[in-house]
Amino acid sequence: MFNNILKYIIIIFFFLCNTILLAQDCSISIQGRVVDEVSQLPLSYVNVYLQETSQGAATDNDGRFFFKNVCVGHYHIIFSHIGCEDSKLHIDLERDTVINVDLDHSDHSLGTVVIQGPKDNVSIQPNLSVNRKKIEDSSNQNLAGLIENEAGVHLIKNGSGISKPVVQGLFGNRLTILNNGIAQSGQQWGNDHSPEIDPFAADNITILKGASALEYNGGNLGSVILVEPKRITREPHLHGQVNYSYESNGRGNNANFRLEKYSRKIAWRINGTLRKYGDRKTTNYYLNNTGLQEANFSIQLEKEWNEKIFVDLYASSFNSRLGVLRGSHIALPEEIEQAFTLLEPFYTEPNFSYGVDAPKQHVSHQLIKLKAKYYQNETSVLEFIIAGQLNDRKEFDIRRSGRSDIPALSLKQYTVNVDLTYAKILGDNWNFKIGNQCIVTDNTNNPTGILPLIPDYLSWENGIFATISKKINVVQFKSGIRYDFERQEALTITNTLPKEILRYKNNFQNISGLLAWEVDILDHQSISIYSGLSMRNPEVNELYSNGVHQGVSGIEEGDVNLESEIALKNILEYKWLPSPSFSLSTLAYHQRFKDYIFLNPQDEIRPTIRGSFPVFKYEQTDASIYGVDFSSQFTISNLIIGQVKYSYLRGDDTKNDVPLIYMPPSSVFGSLTYRTLNPINLSSKITLDEFEIELNNRMVFEQIHILAEQDFIAPPAGYNLVGLKVSTNMLTPSYKVRLFVKADNLLNAQYRDYLNRQRYFADDVGISITMGINFKF
Partner 1 sequence: MKINYFLFLALPLLLTSCDKDDPVIPNEEELITTVNYTLTSSDGQDVVLLSFVDLDGDGENQPTIMGGTLSANTVYTGSIELLNEAESPAEDITEEVQEEDDEHQFFFQSTISELVVSYTDQDGDGNPVGLNTSITTGAPDSGNLTVTLRHEPVKDAAGVSAGDITNAQGETDIEVTFPIDVQ
CB distance 638 to 677 below 8 Å? yes
Region binding partner 1 by CB under 8 A among candidate stretches 85-93, 140-148, 283-291, 491-499: 491-499
Cα→Cα distances 296→157, 336, 354, 365, Å: 22, 36, 19, 9
Q: Compare residues 492 and 774 and give the one whose CB is closer to partner 1.
A: 492
Cα 311 to its chain centre, rounded Å, is 25
Among 113, 162, 292, 548, which residue interacts with partner 1 (rule: CB under 8 A)? Answer: 548
CB of 239 to partner 1, least distance (A): 36
Is there a contact between 12 and 98 (Cβ–Cβ < 8 Å)?
yes
State in angstroms the smallest separation of the CB of 492 from partner 1: 9
State the CB neighbour count (10 A cutoff) for residue 238.
10
Q: Does residue number 451 form part of the binding site for partner 1 (CB under 8 A)?
A: yes
Least distance (Å) between residue 398 CB and partner 1: 6
Q: Does 458 bind partner 1 (CB under 8 A)?
A: yes
Q: How far apart are CA 46 and CA 35, in angstroms?
A: 10
User: Can you tell me the distance from the alpha carbon of 142 to that of 196, in angstroms, rounded to the nearest whole number?
Assistant: 9
Choose which of 362, 471, 487, 594 interacts with partner 1 (CB under 8 A): 487
Q: Which amino acid type is present at position 688?
A: L
Q: Which positions from 586 through 615 interact with partner 1, judged by CB under 8 A?
A: 606-613
| CA-wise closest residue to 293 among 348, 365, 355, 227 | 355
Asked whether the beta carbons of 237 and 263 are under 8 A apart, the reply is no
Interface segment toward partner 1; rule CB under 8 A; list 195-203, 487-495, 509-517, 680-688: 487-495
Nearest to 332 by CA among 571, 587, 610: 610
The full length of the chain comes to 777
Residue of 73, 75, 31 lying closest to 50 (CA atoms): 75
Is residue 198 within 8 A of residue 296, CB to CB? The reply is: yes
Query: Looking at beta carbons only, is 113 or 599 nearer to partner 1?
Result: 599
- Residue 495 lies near partner 1 (rule: CB under 8 A): yes
Question: Which residue, 350 or 707, has its beta carbon nearer to partner 1?
Answer: 350
Which residue from 317, 462, 479, 635 is in contact with partner 1, where contact means CB under 8 A? 462
Rounded to a whole number of angstroms, the minimum distance from the CB of residue 551 to partner 1 is 15
Q: With contacts defined by CB under 8 A, how many residues of the chain interact with partner 1? A: 59
Residue number with CB closer to partner 1 (315 or 382) = 382
Q: Is 343 exposed, middle or buried (0-12, 13-18, 19+ CB in 10 A)?
A: exposed
Q: Is 617 in the site for partner 1 (CB under 8 A)?
A: no
Point out which span in 151-159, 276-284, 436-444, 589-597 binds partner 1 (CB under 8 A). 436-444
* C-alpha torsion 538→654→753→545, nearest 10: -20
Least distance from C-beta 730 to partner 1, angstroms?
50
27 binds partner 1 (CB under 8 A): no
Does 330 engage in binding with partner 1 (CB under 8 A)?
A: yes
Q: Which residues pair with 279 in a beta bridge?
A: none
- Single out the segment in contact with partner 1 by CB under 8 A; choices: 540-548, 711-719, 730-738, 760-768: 540-548
Asked if 504 is part of the footprint of partner 1 (rule: CB under 8 A), the reply reads no
Contact between 436 and partner 1 by CB under 8 A: the answer reads yes
HEC profile for 630-697? Answer: EEEEEEEECCEEEEEEEEEEEEEECCCCEECCCCCCCEEEEEEEEECCCCEECCCCCEEEEEEEEEEE
Q: Are strands 176-179 and 223-228 parallel, antiparallel or unpaired?
A: parallel
Residues 390-419 that bind partner 1 (CB under 8 A): 398-401, 403, 416, 418
Q: Could you tell me the smallest distance in angstroms from the CB atom of residue 421 to partner 1?
A: 11
- The one among 268, 384, 485, 576 contacting partner 1 by CB under 8 A: 384
Dihedral pair phi/psi, residue 234, rounded to 5°: -80, 80
Please state the closest distance from residue 677 (CB atom) to partner 1, in A: 54
Applying CB under 8 A, which part among 8-16, 117-125, 547-555, 714-722 lies near partner 1? Answer: 547-555
- Residue 335 in the binding site for partner 1 (CB under 8 A): yes
489 vs 130: CA distance, rounded Å: 38
Q: How many C-beta atoms surround the C-beta of residue 600 within 10 A?
A: 17
**Closer CB to partner 1, residue 216 or residue 648?**
216
Contact partners, residue 26, CB within 8 Å, separation at least 6:
69, 70, 71, 72
Q: Find the shortest distance in angstroms from Cβ 555 to partner 1.
A: 5
Which whole-number Å values give the CA distances from 673 to 447, 642, 681, 691, in the listed order?
54, 6, 22, 10
Q: What's the rounded Cα separation, in Å, for the pair 536 and 620?
A: 13
When asked if residue 265 is in the footprint of partner 1 (CB under 8 A), the reply is: no
**If binding is defined by CB under 8 A, does position 452 make contact with partner 1?**
yes
Span of 94-102, 458-466, 638-646, 668-676 interacting with partner 1 by CB under 8 A: 458-466
Q: Applying CB under 8 A, which part among 21-29, 221-229, 329-337, 718-726 lies near partner 1?
A: 329-337
Query: Residue from 127, 445, 632, 727 that binds partner 1 (CB under 8 A)?
Result: 445
- Beta bridge partners, 719, equal 700
- H or E element in which residue 462 lies: strand 456-472
Stretch that binds partner 1, among 28-36, 126-134, 153-161, 439-447 (CB under 8 A): 439-447
Q: Residue 448 or residue 666: which is nearer to partner 1 going by CB?
A: 448
Q: Is the peptide bond before 665 cis (omega within 30 degrees of 0)?
A: no
Contact between 350 and partner 1 (CB under 8 A)? no
- Single residue of 240, 547, 659, 733 touching partner 1 by CB under 8 A: 547
Residue span binding partner 1 (CB under 8 A) among the ranges 76-84, 202-210, 497-505, 564-572: 497-505
Question: Which residues would be at the binding site for partner 1 (CB under 8 A)?
Answer: 327, 329-332, 335, 346-347, 382, 384, 398-401, 403, 416, 418, 420, 436, 438-440, 442, 444-445, 447-452, 455-458, 460, 462, 487, 489, 491, 493-497, 499, 501, 546-548, 555, 606-613
